[in-house]
Every structure is written in C-alpha cells, then in structure tokens.
Amino acid sequence: MRRWQLLGLGVFACLWSSPNGVAQDALNRPVVSSQPLVDSGMIPSDPVPQEFVTVEQFNRLQQQLDDLVASGGVVEYEIAPPPVPQTEKKAYPDFKVTGFVHLDTAYFDQSDENIATLGDIEDGTGFRRARIAATGNLTERASYIMEFDFAQAQARFVDVWTQIKDTPLGNVRMGRFRQPFGMSELTSVRELPFLERPTSFALSPFRQTGIMLFDTAANEQMTWAVSGFRTLSDNFGNVYGDNGGYGTAERITGLLVDRGDCGIAHVGFDHSFLNPGRDQLQYASQDEVFVGQQPNLGPTGLSVQPLEGVPPFVNTGVFPVDTVNVFNVEGALSFGRGLVQSEYRWSNLDLPTGENVTVEGGYFMARYMLTGEVIPYNRAAGVFGRVKPDHPLDVCRGDWGAWEIAGRVSTLDLNPLFGQPGVTGKGRELTSYTVALNWYWWANGKCQFEYINGQLNDLVLGDSDINTFAGRMQFDF
C-alpha cells in the first residue's frame, strides 16, 4: 500500500511541475505562431513568422522608465502652434461714390415797395444742388475727396482735397475746402434744418484753396483748426492776382457741459484775416432761398451762363479794400430732441481811403423733434449732425418717419458801406424770419417746407417786405 502511495505522489509532482516549467520557458524565448489568422480571425493563412517582446526586454524597458521617473526627468514634446489665418492685405487706393440732390420750389409775394426796390421776383422750380463725389483712402492714414456740382447756380468744384491724419501737428488737409469759420458754415448742407444758411453767411470766407491743420483735444471736449489759403478763389478753386490774394482762418470750440447728445453746451470763437486778390471784395445775399435759370432760348440757350434768378437782397457790389478781419462767436444748447443755436459776426474793413468800416450780422435758431429723435452732436467737427428717424417711412407698416419744427431769425447789415468811395451797391439791411417743417423719410431722404418773411431796409427807397413759400426734396447716397 505504501508503494502505491509513493507512486501516486510522484505522478502528482510531475503533473504540477510540468505546466509551470513550460510556461516559464515559453516566456523566456521568442514565440512564433506557425499559423497566423487572416483579418477575419477565423481562417489560418500562410505561415508568416511574427516576433513578440520577451520578458527580459519588457523588464529592461520598465527599469529604464522607473529610473527616469525617479531622477525627475521630463519628457518634452514639441507641440506645433495652431496655424495663423492669413488675412488679405488691404489694397490702396480705394474709393466709393457718393452724392445728393436738392430739388427746390419757391413762390414769392412782394409788397409794392419791395418790387420797386428789387424788381419783380418770379416763382421757380429747379435743382439747387446736384452733386456727385468720389471719396476714399490713399493709404491707411491718407484720404481724399473730389466733389463736383452740376446744378446751374453752384460752384463747379465743391470739395477737392487730400488729407493726412494723426501727424505730429494734427490732421493736415490740402486743396479746396470749407475754411474753419462758423458753425453754420461747417454744418453740411445735407444736414441743414433750413433750405439755406442764414444771411450772415455772406461775411464768411467759406471755400478757398489752401492748407489746414485741425484736431480735437481734451478727450473730444474741444476742437481747433488753423488754415492758410489763397483768396478770393473762383468756382474752380483758382486765384490769379499779384496784389494780395492771401488769407487765414482760425476756430476753437469747447463743451462747457457734456452729458452726451442729451445735454450739450457749446461755445466757439472764429477769426479770419483776408488780403483779397486784386484788392477787391463783394458782399451779397438773397433771402435764404434761390431759384433761377438761363433765360435765353436758341441753339446756345438753356446753358449755364448767363443765369437769371432771385436777385441779391443786400449787395455792396465789387469795391476796393486793403485788408479785412472777420470775427465770429458761437453758442448752442442741446437737450436731445431740441436745441437752440446762435452766432454773431462782424467784419472790420480797411479801405484804401484810410477809413475803417464795420458791417455785422448774425442769427438765432431753435429746433425741436416732434417725434422724439435725438439731434446728434458731431464732436470731431464741433457741429450738430444728421437726424435719423426711429421709424423710417413705411406706409404699409404705419411708420411715418420723423417730424421736426424749426424757427430762425437772421440779419445782415451792409448799410455802413453805402456811399463809401468805390462802393457801387446799395448795401441795405435784411432781417429774415423763417418757420420750417421738416419731414425725415429715412436717414438719407427728407422733405422740407418753409415760410420766410423778409424785412428789407434801403437807405434811399425805405422799408419793404416779402413773403416766400418754399419747399425742398432731398436724397443722398
């Protein structure tokens, strides 16, 4: 019995030791599969030997990794930055086309005394302005505009200039442009609440050919500008003459109160010195409205010249002058949907006779938006800007645009020049009372209606008056 027990124990020991020995030997040598499977994993393919990592190789790699971790080594991987999108470089010069149209109509009711003073003024309809311009950028800091007018009574060249911004001296403009003088003069005709600027406009240097420096200051609480130019220039920006022909203009403005567009208190001061070319000057103005046409029919008729239309109500004619100094003060208060604005100016003229004569003019106006829109303030220019209806005209949806009422009193007195040596005109003094109703269809279209009562004083013929009913359709692009 003991013999069979010993034999059983021996067999069990053999069976226990054989599998472990086989497994250990298999792990210590490369294993070769004689029949690898195809992709399906089910059918054996042709024998292809494949080698696997041995236990010794695995242990060596593990030891190297443990040593690296223990030594604090860091494995660095270089990660490529994300690709930067390529932006196309802007090409210069660029340009866009812009323009606008003023189509006016006017009816006049004159007193007998006014007819005796000015003649019979005829009613009329016509294009007061028809402008087109190319504007754009020459470089990132240089811009330009070339604007021309094709209406009968307008300058052929309007604004033709180039400009460089952010120089050490400020912004620089060169060419033909509006001189830095007067709040009404620097307000675009596209954004006027009345058909024309006030009668005191006749005293300003307005558009001349020259160079100007300008900029804002004190976080756009102030504006300043100085310019030098040739004067007096014609409708193409040209000046030709040896005697004189030079001028300067300066303007500074500031905000005493600034609560945004809903609370503005604006003040300003302007000055212009003129030494006119050929030592000649003329002051003249209509009663803030103009219509007219070429009266001659025929093969060459209905062209630009001559032009018959509303005559000047005040007029000095061309007269000799040595130098001129014009001064102007500005003031405005705005409370968002309404504002009041006023300017007063005077011109000191040194005549060849040695006398110094002063003529003066000014205006006061008020505006109020009936539909509640805000009248914005342009901080870069120091003037009020364009009204944009909150509900542009769309009859089908019941939207009727924006409505505004405005009133203005303006005056210009040229009588002090009457009778001076070389002054051929009657001079006269004109005071105009204007009431306006403005209907803003869209941001770029409006219709205006005006009633103007003009009071004219002639030192020879006495006082007279005239009533004018006028309207305008404007669109721009």
Burial 447-460 (b: 16+ CB within 10 A, else e): bbebebebbbbbee
Tell me the mean pLDDT in the region 80-91: 77
Paired strand residues for 472: 104, 448
Tell me the mean pLDDT in the region 331-339: 97
Whether residue 217 is predicted with pLDDT greater than 80 in this model: the reply is yes
Rounded distance between C-alpha atoms, residue 326 and residue 202, angstroms: 11
pLDDT number for residue 298: 59
Whether residue 262 is predicted with pLDDT greater than 60 in this model: the reply is yes
Tokens of 197: 């600027």
Tokens of 117: 């003073």
pLDDT number for residue 80: 63
Whether residue 192 is predicted with pLDDT greater than 50 in this model: the reply is yes
Q: Which of the four pLDDT bands, split at 50, 70 and 90, describes residue 11? A: very low
Q: What is the identity of the amino acid at 134?
A: A
pLDDT number for residue 391: 97
Whether residue 301 is predicted with pLDDT greater than 90 in this model: the reply is no
Whether residue 227 is predicted with pLDDT greater than 50 in this model: the reply is yes
Torsion of CA 310, 314, 317, 318, to 10 degrees: -110
Query: Among the ranges 38-52, 302-316, 354-368, which has the highest mean pLDDT value?
Result: 354-368
Rounded distance between C-alpha atoms, residue 266 and residue 379, angstroms: 10
Q: Which of the four pLDDT bands, split at 50, 70 and 90, describes residue 2? A: very low
Please name the residues in contact with 460: beta carbons below 8 A apart, sequence gap of 6 or more. Answer: 426
Tell me the mean pLDDT in the region 390-402: 97
pLDDT number for residue 295: 75
Paired strand residues for 150: none
- Residue among 170, 194, 198 at smallest CA distance from 380: 170
Tokens of 116: 């005796």
Among all chains, which residue has been given the structure tokens 């236990």? 55
What percent of the chain is predicted at pLDDT more than 70?
84
pLDDT number for residue 154: 73
DSSP labels, 96-110? EEEEEEEEEEEEEEE
3-state helix, strand, coil in the chain (%, to 5): 15, 45, 40
Query: Among the ranges 6-15, 129-138, 229-238, which has the highest mean pLDDT value?
Result: 129-138
Helix (H) or strand (E) holding 13: helix 2-27
Strands 96-110 vs 264-275: parallel, antiparallel or unpaired: unpaired
Query: Among the ranges 1-5, 35-39, 74-78, which has the highest mean pLDDT value?
Result: 74-78
**Least confident segment among 31-35, 293-297, 392-396, 467-471:** 31-35
Side-chain half-sphere exposure of 242, counting CA atoms within 13 A:
0
Q: What is the DSSP letter of 51?
A: -
Whether residue 430 is predicted with pLDDT greater than 50 in this model: the reply is yes
Q: Whole-model pTM?
A: 0.81
ω before 232 within 30° of 0 (cis)?
yes
Q: What is the pLDDT of residues 163-176, one digit of tens each?
A: 999 999 999 999 99
Q: What is the identity of the amino acid at 50?
A: Q
- Residue among 346, 356, 389 at smallest CA distance from 370: 389
3-state secondary structure of 141: coil
Please name the residues in contact with 101: beta carbons below 8 A apart, sequence gap of 6 or more. Answer: 127, 129, 130, 131, 473, 474, 475, 476
DSSP labels, 18-37? HHHHHHHHHHTS----SS-B
Whether residue 413 is predicted with pLDDT greater than 70 in this model: the reply is yes
Whether residue 25 is predicted with pLDDT greater than 90 in this model: the reply is no
Whether residue 454 is predicted with pLDDT greater than 80 in this model: the reply is yes
Whether residue 208 is predicted with pLDDT greater than 70 in this model: the reply is yes
Tell me the mean pLDDT in the region 390-413: 97
Helix (H) or strand (E) holding 46: none
pLDDT number for residue 53: 60
Q: Which of the four pLDDT bands, split at 50, 70 and 90, describes residue 466? A: very high
Tell me the mean pLDDT in the region 224-251: 93
3-state secondary structure of 233: coil
What percent of the chain is predicted at pLDDT more than 90?
74
pLDDT number for residue 41: 41
Among all chains, which residue has been given the structure tokens 């009457």? 418
Q: Tell me phi and psi for residue 115, to 5 degrees.
A: -65, -40
Q: What is the DSSP letter of 56?
A: H
